[in-house]
Structure 1
Amino acid sequence: MDYDVVVLGSGFGSLTAAALLAKRGLRVGVLEQAKYPGGCSSSFKRKGYWFETGATTLVGLDEGMPLRYLLDEIREEVSLQKLEPPMQVHLPNGETLTRYGYLEDWIAEAERVFGKHSQRPFWEHCYKISQQVWRTSLQQRSFPFSNLRDLLLSVARARPAQLHLLPAAFRTMEDMLRHYDLLQDKLFVDFVNEQLLITAQNKLEEVNELFGATALCYTLYSNYYVPGGLINLVNPIVNYISRQESRVLHGQKVQRVSKEENGYVTSTSKGSFKSRFVISGLPLNNTMQLFDDKKIQQTLQKHVMPSEMLNGAFTMGLVLQGQSIPEVLHHQVHVPEGLPLIGSKSIFISFSHPEDTLRAPAGEVVASISTHVKHPEQNVIEDKAVIQAAIVDALVRQQLIRRENIVYEQTATPGAWIFWTQRAYGAVGGYPQYQHVKPWQMKDARLDHKGAYLCGDTVYPGQGIVGVCLSGIIAAEKLLQDHAV
């Protein structure tokens, strides 16, 4: 079957690009190997309960942010519940820190826990940077540049505030804490590091100020819960694509992509698809293996990160019965001694809303738990039970769960992520930020400057639903810009 555009994978970046191109009248085929769409930004059903596949937090719906732009463009609505406050953090000293969604409330809380020294100027600076980054992200949809037209469009769209962001690309978050004389506060440094791991996948000495300030401030924007799970964020976009005479096809594991005279042939486990254009929403590590064009492989090799630079995840899903659920649904728990075998020093747990009977029957809730596994190819986990027990112990100590309320539990290692998602090494969360990779050096949306494009969490701008949404917007924009279709 022929399409104008074939999209590899149905992650959120892929669905974003597919929806925007379908709106322009292109016939799009999205090829997904799994049963459910959405990739790591979705949900799956097991034993009658809906568990989150990966992501559990949702931002990006404020004015001028990528997800808001997408939903406005396709005129779709999603059922949402705003969370305030969005998160609590349980620190090593026994303090519980509430990440309020309003700047003044958050600064007061940070000063209560960490002391008044430099907290206000630090957070006001971070928030200002984050606002400028979000404003710029949709204004500069030709970034990163990979041809002259990109550069000319970016110059035409440039605003003075955008130029003020440039120095922040050369400073790390470590530099920023040093500037505000906060590096000597170990409790604060530990807090910043574990918060950065959630959204930037790395620590303060590696994350640049642009990404770091934005990552630390994500709780200062509207945070939402999706009733029924994130699958109900994905489904409206899938339905929109289908209404435009395009399709999301499941059970289609992509095996090879070949360039032909008039386009591309994508071979899957069930057949082959011809298209004029192709967009890969798969990680660069996987994409490089699928294209038989040597030039494409050589181009991607410069950007591909090996396992030792990546993170996998150890995840758990719990069903709790008769559990008193905290008013705050998202929690990060510090584990200063480190978890056994993997050494991770924090756990993230998200509870389903107690009134959400789409995910669990009344009186029961689903808890999604995750923690980082560095260098997933090397750190093969053979004894899940040891880590599982340590995580449950840590959550019980914080009185977030009660052991006797657990009626069902499941765990997954990076090996399971390879099986579920086919992602190389089972790496999830996107490419971590590294100081030697400046924003303009990240892989842009063009793959071969002929008709192949990229989006997802391993190209600019990287992680999180809002980031991959932006990558899909950029991929669609550059395809339309290049070919005037």
Structure 2
Amino acid sequence: MSNRFDALVIGSGMGSLTVACLLAKEGKKVGILEQNWLAGGCTSSYWRKGFVFESGATTLVGLDKNMPLRYLLDEIGVALEVVELDLPMKIVMKNGVVIHRYKDLDQWIEEAERVFGKKNQRAFWKFCYQVSQFVWETSLEQTAFPPSNFSDLLYCAKNVNLKQLRYAGYAFFSMEWLLKKYDLLDNQPFVDFVNEQLLITAQNYLQEVNVLFGATALCYTNYGNYYINGGLINLVSPLVKYLETQGSTLFLRHKVEKISSKNNLYHLTVKPKGKEVQEFYAPILVSGIPINNTLELWEGKEKFIKPLQEKQMLSPQLNSAFQMGIGFKKTKEFDCIHYQIHLEKPLPQVGSASIFLSLNHPHDQSRCDEPNSMVASISTHVKNPAANMTFDKAKAEEAILEALEKRGFLKKEEVIYAHSSTPTAWEKWTNRKYGFVGGYPQYLKIKPWQMIDSRLDSKGAYLCGDTTYPGQGIPGVVLSGIIAYNKMKRDKQI
């Protein structure tokens, strides 16, 4: 069998690449099957009409101590050329007030007090930061979480400490409860701020996001935020290069059409672009694509499928995105590259209350063919994507350009090139069900230990990515790959 591997990985997002790299470090021959022509999934970059646009994610977090990406890079000995951002983000409120999200906690608290008033801001943010530190410290200590067998429970018990027990209870309380606790729920500008900030990483609002995830999400700007010259494809490329030097193979434009198992091997039916169907085999299988897509590929009526079908989220619970890429003439200097802009009225056709704008770093001209030009990536949430796959893009584009012009980011006549993507385009690009992106949103009724585990069939199949614990963002999906790898080791698969 020429297509026989020690392990097969479906998809090449950051979760997939993480587990593939860790397996390759163990000497395993890994085959990574990617349906697209670029690696990275929603963490990638592409050239179009003279500009390099990000395919999805635009913020890079996770390189600090105790964070998953830092752990991965240290494990495999890969170094990244990154630029730490002096100012992680600015927020432009509806009334035009600009908020600076400083990394330094005390500096940020002073800014929050300036904008929202001094009442309880310091106590609230001190608590949130303590929770975020706890979450990151615990994430790499509890790699059996969520437990799905007795071995996991033993590992969790062995690594538990009083601090973990003290903080675990906050999984039962929402961010709405936390704002009420600090008497901030009547501060409407602050509530609006928190809701839109939570959408960035937790994909939901304060009523649904538990305190453990919510506090961590709100504090991501209080950790190192980074930029990679050339776009986030240059986060992905060093990992692919590492895999290739270790004897593993990335197969681009290889779409997995069916999964089956026989004689202790997983059989994958794969359709390469423009070629005949091929079969791939391995005793270990990792799916880095959403659980919604994974279950549809599985042939047969395995017992594990029904419980997972009951846990998977459907379109009404999910988000896709409307994304716009703009190349424009540079006529001013920017002291920040990430902005959340709160809209005066909901975005036409979409209904969202804010947009997220990311620019190329001022010292990075590699993403623009023309001199004195810049590139912008704008995204906003689209709820229930199956019901909103297509709409009048022109109206949404016009409203975004008007908002950017009103806030002084650019003028319409400075635009060199622009394009946009609806959920239909996301589904085509990523092959994700409904074109949903950003991972499974947080819901209060789903506690962390009830989230989808990385074990699929209790044999040799595993799941990573943003539909399994812990969920969203580059740090989250990298952690999911680390957890899948560690569960394989405890299962004696490697």
Q: Does TM, normalized by the shorter one, top 0.5?
A: yes
Q: Among 259, 284, 293, which residue is 2:291 paired with?
A: 284
Aligned-pair identity in percent equals: 52
Distance 1:251 1:216, change over 3 A: same
Q: CA deviation at 1:336?
A: 3.6
Q: Among 303, 327, 330, which residue is 2:311 paired with?
A: 303
Q: 1:49 & 1:35 partners in 2: Cα distance?
A: 18
Q: Among 194, 197, 212, which residue is 2:199 paired with?
A: 197
Mapping of 1:31-430 within 5 angstroms? Answer: 31-270=33-272, 271-294=278-301, 295-361=303-369, 362-430=371-439
The answer (yes or no) to whether the contact 1:334–1:347 under 8 Å persists in 2 is yes
Superposed CA deviations along residues 112-153 of structure 1, whole A, max 9, x for unmatched, are 000000100000000000000000000000100001011101
Gaps of 5+ in 1: none
Q: 2:110 & 2:51 partners in 1: Cα distance?
A: 39
Q: Give the residue type in structure 1 aligned to 2:453.
A: D
Gaps of 5+ in 2: 273-277
Q: Given the two structures, how large is their TM-score scaled by the length of structure 1?
A: 0.99
Q: CA deviation at 1:484?
A: 5.0
Where does residue 467 of structure 1 map in the other structure?
476
Q: 2:493 & 2:295 partners in 1: Cα distance?
A: 27
Distance 1:325 1:403, change over 3 A: farther
Q: Give the residue type in structure 1 aligned to 2:472.
A: Q
The answer (yes or no) to whether the contact 1:279–1:452 under 8 Å persists in 2 is yes
The answer (yes or no) to whether the contact 1:19–1:241 under 8 Å persists in 2 is yes
Superposition CA RMSD, Å: 0.9
Q: Give the residue type in structure 2 aligned to 1:279.
A: V
Where does residue 477 of structure 1 map in the other structure?
486
Superposed CA deviations along residues 267-318 of structure 1, whole A, max 9, x for unmatched, are 1113110000100000111011011142232132121101000001000000
Where does residue 449 of structure 2 map in the other structure?
440
Q: 1:11 & 1:289 partners in 2: Cα distance?
A: 19
Q: 1:272 & 1:200 partners in 2: Cα distance?
A: 38
Question: What secondary structure sits across from 1:85 in the alignment?
Answer: coil
Q: Give the residue type in structure 2 aligned to 1:100.
A: Y
Q: Give the residue type in structure 2 aligned to 1:248.
A: L
Q: CA deviation at 1:354?
A: 2.3
Greater mean deviation of Cα atoms: 297-306 or 20-29: 297-306
Question: What secondary structure sits across from 1:268 in the alignment?
Answer: strand
The answer (yes or no) to whether the contact 1:288–1:296 under 8 Å persists in 2 is no
Q: 1:135 & 1:470 partners in 2: Cα distance?
A: 12
Q: CA deviation at 1:337?
A: 1.2
The answer (yes or no) to whether the contact 1:323–1:365 under 8 Å persists in 2 is no
Runs (4 or more) in structure 1 with deviation over 6 Å come to none
Superposed CA deviations along residues 371-398 of structure 1, whole A, max 9, x for unmatched, are 0000000023331000000011111111
Greater mean deviation of Cα atoms: 379-388 or 96-105: 379-388
Question: What secondary structure sits across from 1:319 in the alignment?
Answer: strand
Q: Given the two structures, how large is their TM-score scaled by the length of structure 2?
A: 0.97
Q: 1:72 & 1:293 partners in 2: Cα distance?
A: 40
Superposed CA deviations along residues 336-362 of structure 1, whole A, max 9, x for unmatched, are 410112110000000001221221133
The answer (yes or no) to whether the contact 1:323–1:402 under 8 Å persists in 2 is no
Superposed CA deviations along residues 5-47 of structure 1, whole A, max 9, x for unmatched, are 1000000000000000110111110000111101001111212
Q: 1:142 & 1:298 partners in 2: Cα distance?
A: 23
Superposed CA deviations along residues 66-125 of structure 1, whole A, max 9, x for unmatched, are 000000000001110000210000011221000001100000000000000010000000
Q: Give the residue type in structure 1 aligned to 2:296.
A: Q
Q: 1:93 & 1:366 partners in 2: Cα distance?
A: 26
